[in-house]
Amino acid sequence: MMLTDGTLTEIPRKAFHREIVQLPRLSLLLFALSSLSLTAFHYQVTRLNTMSAQDNLKFFLLQLISRLQSGQSDLGNRFEVPMTQVEIGQAIGLTSIYVNKLLRRFIDEGQLEIERPYFRLKTRERWECETAFVDAFAEIDTSWFATEFSRPIQQNASPRANGRVYNRTDPSTCQPEGAARAILV
């Protein structure tokens, strides 16, 4: 399930393998991104098991903003949170009531500002230090990949290989491929 609008491209297995062979940089990019995601996930699980509930929520919000900003210019410390307090609690093992209590505490202490659906981390650097947060996605450079991959689609390509953009609020909508992003939590 995607939490933000995203691009989903269906590619038959044979076509995927053919593209990997024809575009070796694609396989390198996929391997690098999957390795990075796996490493970040392992680090998150390790950290969440050793921190207090308050620090778990801080770490989770730091990771969320990191993922949302991945591949984009610096958006600052304001970001859209595409999850409810129930979903946040489920992701980090807390009740929605406790998530609400912690968010209120952060607001009262001047560490966080919330204007639904946007959050602003007012003490981001302090949170990063307190939770030993490492932003694995901060310095991703994919500029080496774009030039080789941006070649015209073959005329006889399968129609299933064309990108479709699905809106998170209405999965039945489908539009031509456009700029979109997805986060993994």
Residue 156 in this model has a pLDDT that exceeds 50: no
Which residue is listed with tokens 């590619």? 11
Q: What is the value of pTM for the model shown?
A: 0.67
| pLDDT classification of 141: cutoffs 50, 70, 90 | confident
Helix 53-69 / helix 85-92 crossing angle, nearest 10 deg: 110
Residue 185 within a domain: no
Task: Find the domain containing 117 and state its range.
Answer: 6-176
pLDDT at 127 over 80: yes
Average pLDDT over the chain reads 77
> Residue 180: what residue type?
A
Question: For residue 143, is it within any domain?
Answer: yes
Number of domains in the chain: 1
In a domain? residue 104: yes
Domain-located, residue 155: yes
Q: What amino acid occupies position 58? A: K
Q: Write the pLDDT tens digit of every residue in 66-110.
A: 888 765 656 689 999 989 999 999 999 999 999 999 999 999 999
Is 30 contained in some domain?
A: yes
Residue 157 domain-assigned (yes or no): yes
The reply to whether omega before 117 is within 30° of 0 (cis) is yes
Q: Residue 90 has which token pair?
A: 């489920």
Q: What CATH number is given to the structural domain containing 147?
A: 1.10.10.10
Question: Minimal CA–CA distance to 146: which of 61, 29, 8, 63?
Answer: 29
133 and 42 in contact (C-beta within 8 Å)? no
Whether residue 182 lies inside any domain: the answer is no
| Domain-embedded: residue 1 | no
